[in-house]
Amino acid sequence: MPKKIMNLPEDCVSEAMEGFLAANKDYVQVEGASAIRVRNLKDKPAMIVGGGSGHEPMFGYFVGENLADASVAGSVFTSPDPGSILQAAQAVDRGKGILFVYGNYSGDNMNFDIAGEMLGDMDIPVKTVRVWDDVASASKENYLDRRGIAGNVLVIKITGAATASGLDLEEAYRVACKARDNVYSIGVGLSGATIPGEDKPIFTLADDEMEYGLGIHGEPGVRRVKLQTADEIVEELVEKILEDSGIQAGDTVCTLVNGLGATPLLELYVMNRKLARLLQEKGIQVHDMDVGTYVTSLEMAGASVTILKLDDELKNYYDMPCRSPYYKKG
């Protein structure tokens, strides 16, 4: 069995939350058994994020100033239940409505929808933004079937700013949808992750292999290929994103190179070096570049590239300062 630092596997999520809260009590407080929220709620539409555990720091560690107001965690790679989502929403509702933002997965879709229906019965308005940025997971024509991966970071960043800027629920929802519809990601995996309590990884690869276009729950990639150099990997990822998105010379973007859990910053910055050169060669203006480990799949080795096309409105919200335990801007 792969070695992990843990007590009982079934206690990993609750014990991690307890430790996180102990280290960040100035930012957040617990709400029920599986949710955290900001300590100082503002009079605005509330943004709630969430999903299965195992993707840390996404989602819970993005609760903070001008970011998410609350996050609900499920078990590892499992959606939070509707009751916990409802409880979190009631705790942060200030009469301005609730905006759900989360990755596009069937379990999350079902449970957040159920919670939304219960909130509607209480006359609490709800809007939902499902992030579907993974261009490898479905065709452009079937974009509603695409998975949400590291693009969640940029959508949450912009949506948090929009809800904190005095916009009402409808306008904040419009901005969030615009961000979601202009963000594109794709990644590669070099090794699989092992769920706590399991005796082997979700998938295994030979030493000279990698998976191209995989998800963050151990889903297989669209194809298995021989291990490539960093430059070759980034060239292929960027080519796919630009082909799918239509981003071209003269456009302005921000980017994210995201590690999947076991990839050192050294390797992520090697990738970012090539990303910066490619975009410059193609005449694409880069407003900001971010590199870090934000959306993980436990200890999976690999990385993804995300590109968000900006207009003046999105740029304004992207630039707004924000502060949370694991994500800060400005």
* Predicted pLDDT at 22: 94
CB 172 within 8 A of CB 223: no
> From the CB of residue 122, how many other CB atoms can be counted at a distance below 10 Å?
11
Q: What is the DSSP letter of 143?
A: G
Check whether 289 has a pLDDT greater than 70: yes
pLDDT in tens, 110-132: 999 999 999 999 999 999 999 99
Reading the block at residue 321, the tokens are 């300062």
* CATH for 10-181, options being 3.40.720.10, 3.30.2270.10, 2.60.40.10, 3.40.50.10440: 3.40.50.10440
217 is catalytic: yes
- Over residues 62-90, mean pLDDT: 97
Exactly one of 157, 217, 274, 309 is catalytic; which is it?
A: 217
Q: Could you count the other beta carbons within 10 Å of the beta carbon of residue 245?
A: 18
**pLDDT for res 302:** 96
Domain range list for the chain:
10-181, 183-319
Query: 167 pLDDT exceeds 80?
Result: yes
Tokens 């970071």 -> residue: 153
Instruction: Say what the pTM is.
Output: 0.97
Give me the mean pLDDT over the 26-40 stretch.
90
| Helix residue ranges per DSSP H, the chain | 12-23, 82-92, 106-121, 151-164, 169-180, 230-245, 265-281, 312-319
pLDDT at 323 exceeding the cut of 90: yes
Residue 27, pLDDT score: 85
Question: How confident is the prediction for the chain on average, in pLDDT?
Answer: 96
pLDDT of residue 2: 75
Contact 99, 159 (CB under 8 A): yes
> Please, which contacts does 12-20 make with residues 24 or more away whose CB atoms are closer than 8 Å?
12/53, 12/76, 12/196, 13/53, 13/73, 13/74, 13/75, 13/76, 16/53, 16/56, 17/60, 17/73, 20/60, 20/61, 20/325
Q: Residue 307: what pLDDT?
A: 99
pLDDT in tens, 265-287: 999 999 999 999 999 999 999 99
**HEC per residue, 199-248:** CCCCCCCCCCEEEECCCCCCCCCCEEEECCCHHHHHHHHHHHHHHHHCCC
CA distance from start to end of the chain: 43
* Percent of the chain as helix, strand, coil, to the nearest 5: 35, 25, 40
Identify the band that residue 214 occupies on the pLDDT scale cut at 50, 70 and 90: confident
Task: Assign domain 183-319 to its CATH architecture.
Answer: 2-Layer Sandwich (3.30)
Give the pLDDT score at 26: 87
71 vs 13, 59, 78, 91, 250, CA distance in Å? 14, 6, 14, 11, 37
Catalytic-labelled residue, pool 44, 55, 127, 146: 55
Tell me the percentage of the chain whose pLDDT exceeds 90.
Answer: 90
Mean pLDDT for 173-194 is 96
What's the pLDDT at 1?
A: 62
Assess contact for 107 and 81: CB atoms under 8 A.
Answer: no
pLDDT of residue 220: 75
> Which strand ranges, in their side-by-side order, compose the sheet holding 209-212?
223-226, 209-212, 183-191, 301-310, 252-259, 285-292
Rounded Cα distance between 271 and 276, Å, is 9
